[in-house]
Structure 1
């Protein structure tokens, strides 16, 4: 949708000549937003830093910034300028308060996605606000456009993906969730972290665990599952977890589970693949 008015700087985005906007005047992409530049060397630098500390998610965001996808804006446009997208923006302007509202989520039925999500987040000591805070540390400006809404929504569904897919927060589980995300919305950032991380696991851990089979299964699952960013998240949270997985074509992560089984049989802790065991192996 293109409008033919201008706006004053500092005011809410409104109709601008030649620029696409939603019906409420919110710009699809603020013209002040810098055009991202593709840099594989910069992405690899941040990937190496991420390997040193997988909890430092700032490097994940920098990798995505370094490897912008040409398919990103078409996906933003397709959702945000549609009636469905406008309804999502009205009903779910931000996912953070919804996902962090555990008191309300705990009122939903036993066995629901919401209950499993709360269990996961509380067990891991995570919050949607915490992930948002990590992103804000980068100091990037806010533009308030549709591109920003879509990007934040994509970011905030990450931990929900863990719950729906059954992938944990171990090293392989994180790679699998990223490759699930790649299956949903292809970008070189997801591909780099997912498969380079898998290569690092294979190089570091002496095991016969089928790491790459687990990764490829995650990617296929993401491709067959409808994009979570386009779903009404409140409705998804209220669904029974097993029903949600069936409706979304999310099977059991069998190869991931097989990796965990083999590692444990080999005396390897799946949640310490790249920690103390890796340091001991390097020292040896």
Structure 2
């Protein structure tokens, strides 16, 4: 049986790189701190993350985005993967990919956690309903929409430390200050709430180094990644088992602290 992996749609060569009405980025660290305080009250409140990223824009983001969208790889992906959510939420088609592939692991993870790529987009739309339809938006949305894919690739869970590690990994890939701020501020908050010798900051730093060593996932063909065997893919991308993350979990559990509910228990 031939599996159809074609998710492509016609691309518009007239799409501007930056829409003329797109506002300039502004660096607002105090606003970022305010929204982080709201985030630690409820780590599921994803809208606070978007506020933090907006308040801490990445220097060089536009330059990197322009370089990629002008590249042959960027042009191919604009045509073949115009919207990642359409690809990532089509579990029926993803399940047709080989057993043991990233696609199956991703579907298992999303179904177990009750997540969807569309759900993340809906949360973002509440934060920023205005869409500009430019190429820098398309590039940025690829980073947003691959967040849960990074959980599966790296093996980090959706616990507080796991989320901090995924953001640290993302910082290694795309050094937005928002990623770095949230990951280390979350680590500091965990240290404050739960008295433990667990290597929290070592786990975060390990994730950051892995992200830097790994090719940028948002610049890879997500369809191609999904079809590959997960173990071999991790090896190719230089993603190893996160030693300090698992060590931290073991230490938490030795103290009768559930790493997936540690802040609630501390409270």
TM-score range, shorter chain: over 0.9
Q: Does 1:156 align with 2:168?
A: no
Q: Deviations over 1:2-57 (max 9, x none)?
A: xxxxxxxxxxxxxxxxxxxx981211111210001110000100000001111010
Gaps (5+ residues) in structure 2? 1-10
Report the counterpart of residue 278 of structure 1 in structure 2.
Answer: 266
Q: How many Å separate the matches in 2 of 1:71 and 1:217?
A: 24
Report the counterpart of residue 46 of structure 1 in structure 2.
Answer: 35
Select 2:168's aligned residue among 162, 170, 179: 179
Q: Deviations over 1:121-171 (max 9, x none)?
A: 001000000000000001441111001101111100000000000000000
Q: Deviations over 1:61-107 (max 9, x none)?
A: 01000011111101100111111101100000000010000011111
Select 2:240's aligned residue among 244, 251, 266: 251
Select 1:99's aligned residue among 76, 79, 88: 88
Q: Does 1:191 align with 2:190?
A: no
Q: How many Å separate the matches in 2 of 1:124 and 1:95?
A: 19
Q: How many Å separate the matches in 2 of 1:128 and 1:44?
A: 27
Of structures 1 and 2, the one scoring higher in RCO (CA 8 A, sep 6+) is: 2
Q: How many Å separate the matches in 2 of 1:153 and 1:269?
A: 32
Select 1:31's aligned residue among 20, 26, 31: 20
Could you say what secondary structure the match of 2:127 adopts? coil
Q: Return the offset for 1:197.
A: 0.4
Q: Does 1:217 align with 2:202?
A: no
Select 1:230's aligned residue among 219, 223, 244: 219
TM-score by length of 1: 0.89
Q: Which has the larger radius of gyration?
A: 1
Report the counterpart of residue 56 of structure 1 in structure 2.
Answer: 45
Q: Return the offset for 1:229.
A: 0.7
Gaps (5+ residues) in structure 1? 1-21, 280-284
Select 1:122's aligned residue among 95, 111, 120: 111
Q: How many Å separate the matches in 2 of 1:95 and 1:65?
A: 22
Q: How many Å separate the matches in 2 of 1:196 and 1:128?
A: 26
Q: How many Å separate the matches in 1 of 2:106 and 2:158?
A: 13
Q: Does 1:143 align with 2:127?
A: no
Q: Would you say how many aligned residue pairs link Structure 1 and Structure 2?
A: 257
Q: How many Å separate the matches in 2 of 1:43 and 1:218?
A: 22
